[in-house]
């Protein structure tokens, strides 16, 4: 048990500050690249710095800070896809109706996920002793920061300063070119983007995913060349049938294949349930809370989203199942298939409802519960290792989620006001695929999703998955601007070269510092983007 002196208020304030900043950054990265920022190590390091600046360092305080920040960061991860899809495909604006619907579903889904996770945690952490790689790594980092935090903070600071200054030199002062290859006469979305954020992200995800993302963009470039005339904007290029059909088919097919590949997880869970039905619901309060949340979700579906009562209740049941499945997957592999399950629910909902708004919001509900469950139990794993009670973690995550929901929607509004969605700056690959898929199913066809192109792409995705290549990475590369994926590739290649050139005895330490430096690059540019975007929206610059 950790006996560090604990100041809970200090820990929560630290988590809210970190969560607010990284929630904005995570949304931006997701809308720009289609990838989720690996934020847990970054939260732990920044938490260490903030807590040290306010007094002595405590591992328990850093854990509570991490849980508060995590709740805030992931509060609208699923709902943001629904909101952006409605804006892109239905011409919705940020009305009070859209804001309130998104916020209520986000908070309800977060509460459901936290409740499920809290009352099932012993099954996963104690009884089955699942690894939860992300949570275990975060706990080890928190433990080690007291001894080596000073050096790691310096590395993080250098990356932060480079990322912040580089963005200012490129986007604010125009001293550096945003795309050095523009002199070749290509559109702005072809080439290499001067982005420390994209480079850092490429290093962290590694060279294999980076190469596949860039390969998808090479296909996009071939389509652009074969079109005969330069696309006037990335938005025009993105919604060409050969782009959107292929990108959507790759992501949808890869999602289905991922579920099939993870069937052993589902089968083992089903077998355990048959032996001891509802063993994970040992405490009756969780059943009451889930029923109440399901009823609230049902009411929301009927009154705000015009969803049938039966479909509203079924979506809550699927959300619970998705949450349990994501916990199991995160525990065994460190992978969260929430977006994959959400895509499946989106397709089923589109077939049943024939209503765009209800379809994307139900998919968002299921995705959000899955994400929350996976991250919450991973955070419980951190607490289990450090010695922090699950109750305190659940309370701080709930507080973070309640704060993060309106905050995240506010950030979406700012980003939309400054850049729009489905643009070169924010291509929004996830919401674009959600919207295109739902629209094609509901309308029985689409002007931008062609069945023949999608069928060929689906076959290619199955073949790639069979040979253990990530069709999801390729699909994302198809939809984001090639200039971004080129910079991601440079980061991935740097990761590859470091592993090849550095002696094995030194690699782990060098790689750890490089990951921290890359996190600094991402954070520096991300904070610069949020700061300068806010100043731009306010008319100050």
* 501: number of Cβ within 10 Å: 9
Judge whether 386 and 1 are in contact, CB under 8 Å.
no
Q: Of 102, 83, 154, 78, nearest to 366 (Cα)? A: 78
Give pTM, 2 decimals: 0.70
CA–CA dist 421, 526 (Å, integer): 17
Contacts of 245 (CB under 8 A, 6+ apart): 448, 449, 450, 453, 454, 457
Question: What ranges make up the beta strands (E) of 307-413?
Answer: none
Q: Structure tokens of 366?
A: 């299921």
What does the pLDDT read at residue 162? 93
Judge whether 404 and 114 are in contact, CB under 8 Å.
no
CA–CA dist 242, 421 (Å, integer): 20
Judge whether 530 and 21 are in contact, CB under 8 Å.
yes
**Start-to-end C-alpha separation, the chain:** 51
**pLDDT tens profile 380-430:** 988 888 888 888 898 899 889 888 888 888 888 888 888 888 887 788 877
Judge whether 123 and 279 are in contact, CB under 8 Å.
yes
What does the pLDDT read at residue 213? 85
Judge whether 360 and 78 are in contact, CB under 8 Å.
no
Q: Structure tokens of 196?
A: 């420390």
Judge whether 196 and 529 are in contact, CB under 8 Å.
no
Contacts of 25 (CB under 8 A, 6+ apart): 37, 522, 523, 526, 527, 529, 530
CA–CA dist 216, 172 (Å, integer): 30
Strand, coil or helix: what is 174?
coil
Judge whether 404 and 72 are in contact, CB under 8 Å.
yes
Contacts of 401 (CB under 8 A, 6+ apart): 71, 72, 74, 75, 106, 107, 110, 111, 114, 372
Maximum CA pair distance of the chain?
68
Q: Of 422, 404, 297, 415, nearest to 361 (Cα)? A: 297
CA–CA dist 95, 115 (Å, integer): 30
What does the pLDDT read at residue 230? 59
CA–CA dist 273, 342 (Å, integer): 23
Transcribe 112-166 into DSSP letters: HHHHHHHHHHHIIIIIS----HHHHHHHHHHHHHHHHHHHHHHHHHHHHHHHHHH
Judge whether 90 and 260 are in contact, CB under 8 Å.
no
Judge whether 130 and 333 are in contact, CB under 8 Å.
no
CA–CA dist 318, 354 (Å, integer): 19
Q: Structure tokens of 127?
A: 């009884």
CA–CA dist 328, 324 (Å, integer): 6
Judge whether 372 and 330 are in contact, CB under 8 Å.
no
CA–CA dist 531, 242 (Å, integer): 36
| Ranges in the chain, pLDDT < 50 | 1-3, 273-287, 301-302
Contacts of 505 (CB under 8 A, 6+ apart): none
Buried b vs exposed e over 437-461: b needs ≥16 C-beta within 10 Å?
Answer: bbbbbbeeebebbbeebbeebbebb
Transcribe 30-44 into DSSP letters: HHHHS-----HHHHH
CA–CA dist 356, 259 (Å, integer): 24
CA–CA dist 276, 365 (Å, integer): 28
What does the pLDDT read at residue 279? 45
CA–CA dist 437, 352 (Å, integer): 14
Rounded CA Rg of the chain: 22
CA–CA dist 34, 493 (Å, integer): 20
Angle, helix 77-90 to helix 356-386, in steps of 10 degrees: 160
């Amino acid at each position: 048990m950790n006996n560090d002196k604990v100041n809970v208020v200090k820990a929560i304030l630290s988590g809210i500050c970190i969560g607010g900043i990284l929630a904005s950054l995570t949304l931006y990265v997701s809308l720009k690249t289609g990838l989720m920022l690996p934020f847990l190590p970054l939260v732990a390091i920044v938490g260490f710095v903030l807590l040290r600046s306010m007094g002595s360092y405590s591992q328990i305080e850093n854990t509570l800070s991490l849980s508060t920040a995590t709740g805030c960061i992931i509060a609208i991860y699923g709902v943001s896809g629904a909101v952006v899809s409605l804006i892109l495909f239905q011409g919705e604006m940020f009305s009070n109706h859209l804001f309130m619907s998104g916020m209520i579903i986000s908070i309800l889904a977060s509460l459901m996920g936290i409740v499920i996770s809290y009352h099932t945690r012993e099954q996963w952490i104690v009884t089955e002793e699942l690894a939860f790689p992300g949570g275990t790594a975060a706990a080890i980092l928190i433990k080690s920061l007291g001894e080596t935090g000073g050096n790691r903070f310096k590395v993080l600071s250098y990356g932060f300063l480079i990322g912040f200054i580089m963005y200012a030199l490129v986007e604010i002062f125009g001293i550096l070119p945003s795309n050095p290859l523009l002199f070749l006469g290509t559109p702005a979305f072809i080439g290499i983007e001067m982005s420390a954020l994209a480079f850092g992200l490429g290093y962290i995800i590694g060279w294999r995913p980076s190469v596949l993302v860039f390969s998808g963009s090479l296909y996009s470039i071939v389509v652009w060349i074969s079109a005969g005339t330069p696309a006037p904007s990335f938005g025009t290029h993105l919604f060409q049938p050969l782009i959107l059909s292929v990108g959507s088919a790759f992501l949808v097919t890869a999602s289905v294949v991922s579920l099939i590949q993870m069937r052993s997880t589902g089968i083992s869970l089903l077998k355990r349930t048959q032996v001891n039905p509802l063993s994970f619901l040992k405490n009756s309060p969780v059943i009451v809370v889930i029923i109440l949340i399901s009823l609230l979700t049902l009411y929301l579906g009927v009154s705000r989203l015009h969803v049938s009562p039966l479909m509203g209740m079924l979506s809550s049941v699927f959300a619970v199942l998705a949450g349990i499945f994501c916990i199991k997957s995160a525990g065994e592999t460190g992978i969260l298939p929430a977006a994959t399950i959400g895509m499946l629910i989106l397709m089923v909902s589109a077939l049943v409802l024939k209503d765009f708004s209800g379809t994307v919001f139900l998919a968002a509900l299921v995705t959000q519960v899955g994400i929350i469950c996976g991250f919450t139990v991973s955070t419980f794993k951190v607490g289990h290792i450090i010695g922090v009670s699950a109750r305190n973690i659940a309370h701080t995550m709930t507080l973070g989620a309640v704060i993060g929901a309106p905050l995240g929607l506010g950030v979406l509004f700012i980003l939309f006001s400054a850049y729009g969605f489905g643009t070169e700056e924010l291509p929004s690959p996830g919401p674009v695929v959600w919207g295109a898929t739902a629209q094609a199913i509901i309308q029985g066809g689409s002007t931008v999703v062609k069945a023949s192109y999608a069928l060929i792409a689906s076959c290619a995705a199955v073949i790639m998955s069979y040979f253990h290549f990530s069709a999801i990475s390729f699909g994302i590369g198809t939809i984001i601007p090639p200039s971004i994926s080129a910079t991601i590739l440079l980061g991935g290649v740097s990761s590859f070269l470091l592993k090849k050139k550095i002696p094995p005895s030194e690699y782990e330490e060098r790689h750890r510092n490089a990951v921290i430096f890359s996190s600094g690059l991402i954070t520096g540019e991300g904070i610069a983007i949020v700061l300068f975007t806010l100043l731009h929206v306010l008319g100050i610059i």
